[in-house]
Amino acid sequence: MDWTSYGYGGQQKQDWYDQAQICKNGHLINSAMKEYPESNKKFCPKCGKETICTCENCGSAIQGELHMEGVANFGEITIPSFCKDCGKEFPWTKAKLEAAVELLMEDEELLAEDIANFENNIHDALTENPRTTLAATRVGKVIKKTSKFIGDGVRDIIVDVLSETAKKTIWPS
């Protein structure tokens, strides 16, 4: 468990992160699987996919809700896109990126170089880094070349995994 100590009036309080269980499509199953094991499930009730609670690459626990002594918790967490310990993308992140590329390939007006440009830049648009704005601009240019139907579909697929900067760059309003 991740423990964080805070001193309050000379007392030590222990706050800790629980482990989350998420299906391979990215649906949150249980944000506190150690605290509430009765809510764990082997398969997702929304889509039927297998659930995981550790990174498939390094085996680290997927960080769940923060338990703070004396503070009520409402169990909502942000679904992570990447493992906090090894940096690899989680299966739902990878699946969303693959689905977005496949959908772009359905647009007969896009060139192969447009799709390659999207693929080459989308990873930098997922995180806050020095290349985020550049990458998001390039991704946005590709999306704007598509039909409204495909562009809206790509947006729906990737909006949950994009960084805030990328979202604001691609869809400013």
Contacts of 57 (CB under 8 A, 6+ apart): 83, 86, 88
Residue (of 19, 16, 20) closest to 69 by Cα position: 16
- pTM here is 0.84
Dihedral class, residue 104 (left if φ above 0, else alpha if ψ from -120 to 50, else beta): alpha
Domain boundaries defined on the chain: 2-67, 91-170
pLDDT per position as a tens digit, 120-139: 999 999 999 999 999 999 99
Closest by Cα among 86, 75, 79, 77 to 52? 79
CA proximity to 89, closest of 22, 173, 42, 14: 22
Q: pLDDT grade, residue 51 (50/70/90)?
A: very high
Per-residue pLDDT averaged across 92-101, rounded? 97
